[in-house]
Copies of this chain bind each other. A is one copy, B any other.
């Protein structure tokens, strides 16, 4: 079922393991239209677009506070308990990301340091679609809270009943978030970027979404609003040796494949036997899935790769720079130093990706599309900036002065030298 590649050469990697390219032009006209409409007509523009494109008539864009307060009654007890356990772990892990200020005296009289400040206003986009992705709200809002963000706004597409699912409202309630807008798609991003009567403009927009949402975020970024990342289809790369359990791996592959028909799944191994076993198990397991059709579509484009060594498998993974990487090898911990490009790595047979998707504590908002070569997943730092500070005493300026002046003059910026001279010449 899944295509097997045997010993692909380095020169073939780009061809064999490239991602599907998304044609941006297909969305740009619609995005322009929506941004213009929201810019011009505010709330009315948002409503008009929702009706036209998403066939959703909305009287009020903001979820009433009462709905958030009452959400608890509408969520199953086991789901509430699950959310609380996940919340605790995510909280614990992300609290370790708070950085301390460290003052450095670079030379006598010169002190330099950085202080973190929260981003004041953030907008979190939580996709809807087939199911309420309340786990994404946990993954974005918990680090935002830890960072100290003052104003957290949430936008999520209305469900078929025109409301917001109680699980999302329940998570918002747990985290003390009161401002939720039932708006989806491009219009949600446009509203966060431009602001309307009801929806405030924000400093940074977070959250995944379909190609329209992603293109809208790119557009917002061009207009000067910060964004977390441009998220593409989800990806899993597995490196497994012959000690791996093929059942576990098959389950991981299809759990990734069920995300969407465009999900990317690759398994690399030095054992052809393992590849064949995983393939066979996948065929059986997939039939048990409610989302069988989606997973099948995704798996049909997936790849099993036979390499001559586990080191080669990891090299291929570094080339691909996957969002998720499972290392199902006997020496998984030792191998991790060889990993240079990945979003989140799961070491060992019992570290399944779904642990990190929901409850282990790590963040599931991760770089996709190969951007892991240069970007990291969401963390507390994504909701902060670092401001550098310095104090230079008169003595400090005496020490730095000759250096500043020589460099400024060599760069043809004599005014910069003057700012030093005027201070050192001052007799008062």
Contact = CB atoms under 8 A, between A and B. Distances in A.
Interface of A: 24, 76, 78-79, 81-83, 85-86, 88-89, 92-93, 96-97, 99, 102, 104, 106-107, 110, 112, 114-115, 117, 119-120, 130-135, 167, 203-204, 218, 222, 224, 226, 245, 247-248, 251-252, 254-255, 257-259, 285, 288-291, 295, 332-333, 336, 339-363, 366-367, 369-377, 379, 381, 385-394, 396-397, 400, 402-408, 410-420, 422-423, 426, 428
Given A352-B420, A390-B346, A392-B348, A403 B85 contact: yes
A344 B411 CA distance: 21
B374 A119 contact: yes
Contacts of A361: 104, 106, 110, 112, 390
Given A24-B222, A96-B104, A340 B418 contact: no
B226 A374 contact: yes
A119 B373 contact: yes
A397 B258 contact: no
B340 A117 contact: yes
Contact of A373 (B120, B131, B336, B423): B120
24 contacts: A82-B406, A82-B410, A110-B355, A117-B340, A132-B410, A203-B373, A248-B419, A255-B416, A285-B418, A288-B418, A291-B414, A344-B390, A346-B390, A347-B389, A347-B390, A348-B393, A352-B397, A353-B416, A355-B396, A356-B388, A363-B388, A367-B385, A379-B386, A381-B381
Given A360-B106, A411-B133, A344 B387 contact: yes
